[in-house]
Amino acid sequence: MRKRYLIFVKLAVSISLIIFIYRKTPLDQIGDLLFSIDLRYLLPIAGLLFFNTVISARKWQLFLRADDVELPLWNLTVSYLSGTFCNLFLPSSIGGDSYRIYDIARQSKQAVRSAASVFADRLSGFVAMVTLSLISSIVVSMIFGTARFVVIPSLLLLIFFCIVFVMVSKEQVGKFMNFTRLNRFDTLNRLINKLFISFENYGRRRGLLGRVMTLSFLFQILAIMIVYLMARSLGADTPFYYFSAFVPVIMVMEALPISIYGIGVRDYGYVYFFTQVGMGDLQTRSLALCFMTISICYSLIGGLFFLYKLWAGKQADATVQNR
């Protein structure tokens, strides 16, 4: 019952924001702009999307390898692609992460190490995202002579580090377990201890943090470039540094589990931020729709891998039963 209520609330948020944003926008003109998109940009956009998936898989592989779990890069890339498909139907990026944990745990027989690697992967990506946004926002604020563009990234970074401090500090987690009396459950205690062993393994690997953060910043820069190319395909000539300031913040907004697949929240972010730097109403709304359309199409490609993995799994089970 609670799950249905949450889905209803998120659906209401998405619908309300969509109505608020598009209520006075001529949809026929948005349609004309989308149909006039410069198709020359689609191939580099698709290439960057796939390259970013490989970057994410490589970063994930580094965490797993540091914890003595060795899997081919292609397997992790396919798992990532399948996870993007799951994001279409499950809450925020949490759904895709849950699938990745399950998939790699099934392949490696190491459920806790799989969960720890996915958590660390997300953590490093968020650090790069918010840090890059904060740096770019400072530049934009200097151009406009106001500090308002720095406020949101600064708050996000502060909240993030507070959450991380609590989550990755064994002492703080221990205090929370004692306060909630969850320490009575031996299984949960063993699970948390194994998670912290994985985190300690990451810390002992020399150079791991530097390689991971380099890949994380590269991923974020390319993600910003993808949105920039989408805007260029729609005829927008907004400078790149505005995208580097706003896109990471919008990504954080749409990742919040308060809407369906970020619909409405993402649109509001593009409209709110980019109208302040000279992009027209039609272009901001068309950019949001363009991003959603391309993301869904790319996720559906991941769906093909997901279906293939299901079919291959059933074939393998049938082979075992026939022996």
Asked if residues 305 and 78 have their Cβ atoms less than 8 Å apart, the reply is: yes
What is the count of structural domains for the chain?
A: 1
Nearest to 84 by CA among 258, 312, 307, 301: 301
323: in domain: no
Nearest to 6 by CA among 123, 125, 84, 94: 94
∠203-93-243 over CA atoms, to 5°?
Answer: 90
pTM of the model: 0.83
pLDDT of amino acid 74: 92
24: in domain: no
Burial class of residue 157 in the structure, from the number of CB atoms within 10 Å of its CB (0-12 exposed, 13-18 middle, 19+ buried): middle
> Dihedrals φ, ψ of 105, to 5°?
-65, -35
Asked if residues 273 and 250 have their Cβ atoms less than 8 Å apart, the reply is: yes
What is the chain's pLDDT, residue by residue, as a tens digit (323 residues)? Answer: 555 666 677 777 777 777 777 777 777 777 777 788 888 999 999 999 999 999 999 999 999 988 888 899 999 999 999 888 887 766 555 667 788 888 888 888 888 888 888 888 888 888 888 888 788 778 777 877 777 777 777 777 777 777 667 666 667 777 767 777 666 666 666 667 766 767 777 777 778 889 999 999 999 999 999 999 999 998 888 888 888 888 887 887 777 767 776 778 888 888 888 888 888 888 888 888 888 888 888 988 888 888 887 777 676 656 656 65
What DSSP designation does 275 have? Answer: G
Q: How far apart are CA 154 and CA 159, in angstroms?
A: 9
pLDDT of amino acid 222: 94
Cα-to-chain-centroid distance, residue 120 = 13
23: in domain: no
Helix ranges, the chain (H): 2-22, 27-35, 42-66, 73-86, 94-108, 111-144, 148-168, 170-180, 186-204, 208-233, 240-255, 265-274, 281-322
Q: How far apart are CA 290 and CA 277, in angstroms?
A: 19
Q: Which residues contact 157 (CB under 8 A, 6 or more apart)?
A: 130, 131, 134
22: in domain: no
> Which two tokens mark 113?
């190490």
> Max CA-CA distance within the chain?
73
pLDDT of amino acid 183: 66
pLDDT of amino acid 226: 95
Asked if residues 73 and 204 have their Cβ atoms less than 8 Å apart, the reply is: no
Q: Which residues contact 263 (CB under 8 A, 6 or more apart)?
A: 14, 17, 18, 292
Q: How far apart are CA 217 and CA 229, in angstroms?
A: 18
> Dihedrals φ, ψ of 258, to 5°?
-120, 0
Name the CA dihedral angle for 304, 309, 314, 319, rounded to a multiple of 10 degrees: 130
Asked if residues 162 and 168 have their Cβ atoms less than 8 Å apart, the reply is: no
> Dihedrals φ, ψ of 200, to 5°?
-65, -35
∠287-288-293 over CA atoms, to 5°?
Answer: 95
pLDDT of amino acid 232: 92
Q: Which residues contact 124 (CB under 8 A, 6 or more apart)?
A: 59, 212, 213, 216
Q: Which domain holds residue 143?
A: 2-17+29-318
107: in domain: yes
